[in-house]
Structure 1
């Protein structure tokens, strides 16, 4: 149990550094990771390596995805595209139904995009809509985050459900169908319904903001000076279209599985669906659609690019710090100790898989790592119990979202993008993710009685 005591003390130490002493979050995460590694008995020379590996593995892809995603979003915003989309949505749906419109749009986008990419692309548009509708950003942001999160946890082709389905022998198409049945109620409960509750217990977070740290002061536009809604939406969703093409193609021609040695058209389709390639291609299109095509000078667009990169620099470091903390916990052996707790348990296999994944999620931070680790632990149990493998994939996906806190990159991303403090992020983001986890488990248990 000493390892869990060390983990608890480490999290407490991190919160004290950030909240009490106002130490920079990135610095606090690295210091905490080093101390926890020492407390777990890791060789001292391995601690810096684990921190380096954690940061490198996290930022290797995210650096370009986040960087180009932020630039694309800022180009759309600075050209007036986000304002045009906001104005059009409000005109079509009205202020009363705009929250539902945002959630549906985020759900559709989230099927094709990673959570982080969807958040980067949608935040500028959602912020513009919130400004235009004069509502708090979180009023629209919570349903958006809920929709993106459920697709990340339950629906292939996202990494965790796809990889778990492969590990447990579940058909990806079946997982997708059952996943939709689970994801839609979870998004509704954790989105619009939870928003009403959150406004009561965290009212200080629901304020109308004129600017965000991650995006700066928003420009004022005349509607006739902005790009058309069609080209603005196309530019914003270009990465979604590219990844969506790849997803549909693999479902039709390879049962939803990635091609092992793609050639010709298979290689081309695989390439454009890669998040890095999709963002590179999309940024080139955005430079034309929101820049040269609108008569903007290249010099002006490069100012937009620099501002966008500056705005997310600290966010990238914070995400890297969270990944370093996560890697220390993995290399320190906490995941194995959690699995040992349940070796002789008589709990229902679905509930047991959920509990194991929740504990791994709390300890390790990464939803994907927690899910993949749990899949390996429960595979023998599933084979012996005869549980539908698709349902096992879903309960593991649900558990991997629970109790997101300071060792999860998503926690810090939500905090920074929505300009919240740590307490507010725990009250809103952590609770939102846990609601999805609980509703997901409940829906999977109901499905288990039917299928």
Structure 2
């Protein structure tokens, strides 16, 4: 398959998805499924492999993200019903001031996002975003986009995030230097893509429709008996702490020992969220006077609105798997390798290509660093730490429709597909381009 044909096929598929959903108002899941099948057939994939490819991609993504969304939504529901989200919102708005809540959410996103994947940080913080926007009468996008930008920046640029650690290992970079450079370069990127772009976008993309997800997290009046700020923060941070401890298990315990195994187990994303959700049932439920039947009702009713989100995330994963299995992404990657571009640019381009092909920024970082690392070993004058950062920047480029984050942002914030592209896809691309530019500037001084 030629690179030109592969690029035109991928672009046609993406354009078809946008037009069919936005112009003809077809169900997004149906569109993603049909376009994926058509792309595979046009690319020459055997017909008996096409559906299996889509199902494998959808199942792989949902196996992780579906559990995260379900547990995170239950935790968020308990946070909202108990008044815990109101307690945090009132404390933040009182400390930062109404006009600076977007900056406060950016800082919170940077801190929460360090040890956890984007999807986890998002489901933990989105109830707080809804409540803050409502209580301060701020546009939802102005509060939500800085949080999303901060989570994306930490995901891509700053160890000990799992994605960044993959690239760090491949390039044999120094973790201390990488963290320092990641903070120096990542912080201004979070500012540009977060509060600065968030204010610009919220003024130009008005949200006028009813958002059922926002309605279930925002109570018209704050609870009369709100839990304490400390207990609420402790509950919402507990999965973050468990995941951070799990990521450090090999450094603080004997590898494969009993303690090491236990820490890895409780630090697993699903286990940490499950433990935090169970904790919320008591701290934000029973201790606040809710009966077991009421807590059961909360957890049942909050999952209904997430069904479409899970289907769309699965379909996006299937679309990405088809791009890979059909050979489309490989043809484009081979063309990029043959272009003989500077190593920093090559790593960024390859990560961006894999990002568009499979949707996952973690896979994009791992794949691109695996391809470029052997080349780096025979090169001089290129900082391994900057290679980690530039690969991470490329791995979040474009915010494509086969990324779980795209559909999370769309459905949770009540956006249309064009609105999501104008806001989230632009925000992600802004992070990627700023990351490349800042790393190229830094390479003048760092070798």
Shift of 1:48: 1.2
Conserved 8 A contact 2:81-2:217: no
Q: 2:322 aligns with which of 316, 328, 333?
A: 328
| Match status 1:429 vs 2:424 | yes
Q: Which residue of 1 aligns with 2:336?
A: 342
Q: 2 CA distance for matches of 1:173 and 1:313?
A: 41
Q: 1 CA distance for matches of 2:313 and 2:338?
A: 37
| Match status 1:132 vs 2:135 | yes
Q: 2 CA distance for matches of 1:98 and 1:273?
A: 30
| Match status 1:242 vs 2:223 | no
| Match status 1:275 vs 2:273 | no
Q: Give me the CA root mean square deviation.
A: 1.9
- 50-59 vs 154-163, greater mean Cα deviation: 154-163
Shift of 1:330: 0.8
Q: 4+ residue stretches of structure 1 with deviation over 6 A?
A: none
Q: 1:30 aligns with which of 25, 33, 36?
A: 33
Q: Which residue of 2 aligns with 1:181?
A: 184
Q: 2:386 aligns with which of 369, 388, 391?
A: 391
Q: 1 CA distance for matches of 2:338 and 2:416?
A: 41
Q: Secondary structure at the match of 2:333?
A: helix
Q: Which residue of 2 aligns with 1:263?
A: 257
Give the count of matched residue pairs: 442
Q: 1 CA distance for matches of 2:98 and 2:312?
A: 35
Q: Which residue of 2 aligns with 1:216?
A: 216
| Match status 1:374 vs 2:376 | no
Cα distance 1:368–1:429, how it changes in 2: closer, same or farther (>3 A)?
same
Q: Which residue of 2 aligns with 1:47?
A: 50
Mapping 1:10-159, distance limit 5 Å = 10-159=13-162
Q: Give CA deviations for 1:327-364 in whole Å, capped at 9, x if unaligned.
A: 00011112321222134434221112212222332333
| Match status 1:233 vs 2:233 | yes
Conserved 8 A contact 1:211-1:217: no
| Runs (5+) with no aligned partner, structure 1 | none
Q: 1 CA distance for matches of 2:217 and 2:444?
A: 52
Shift of 1:393: 1.3
Q: Give CA deviations for 1:178-202 in whole Å, capped at 9, x if unaligned.
A: 22222111101101111232245x2
Shift of 1:227: 1.2
Conserved 8 A contact 1:75-1:286: yes
Q: 2 CA distance for matches of 1:194 and 1:315?
A: 25
Shift of 1:214: 5.9
Q: 2 CA distance for matches of 1:7 and 1:344?
A: 20
Conserved 8 A contact 1:65-1:117: yes
Q: 2 CA distance for matches of 1:14 and 1:96?
A: 37
Q: 1 CA distance for matches of 2:215 and 2:65?
A: 18
Q: Give CA deviations for 1:358-411 in whole Å, capped at 9, x if unaligned.
A: 233233322222222222322233222222222111111101111112222211
| Runs (5+) with no aligned partner, structure 2 | none
Cα distance 1:222–1:421, how it changes in 2: closer, same or farther (>3 A)?
closer
Conserved 8 A contact 1:353-1:374: yes
Shift of 1:41: 0.7
Conserved 8 A contact 2:7-2:332: no
Cα distance 1:174–1:388, how it changes in 2: closer, same or farther (>3 A)?
same
Conserved 8 A contact 1:37-1:329: yes
Conserved 8 A contact 1:210-1:218: no
For normalisation by structure 1, the TM-score amounts to: 0.93
Q: 2 CA distance for matches of 1:315 and 1:155?
A: 28
Conserved 8 A contact 2:317-2:358: no
Shift of 1:215: 5.1
Shift of 1:223: 5.4
Q: Which residue of 2 aligns with 1:296?
A: 290
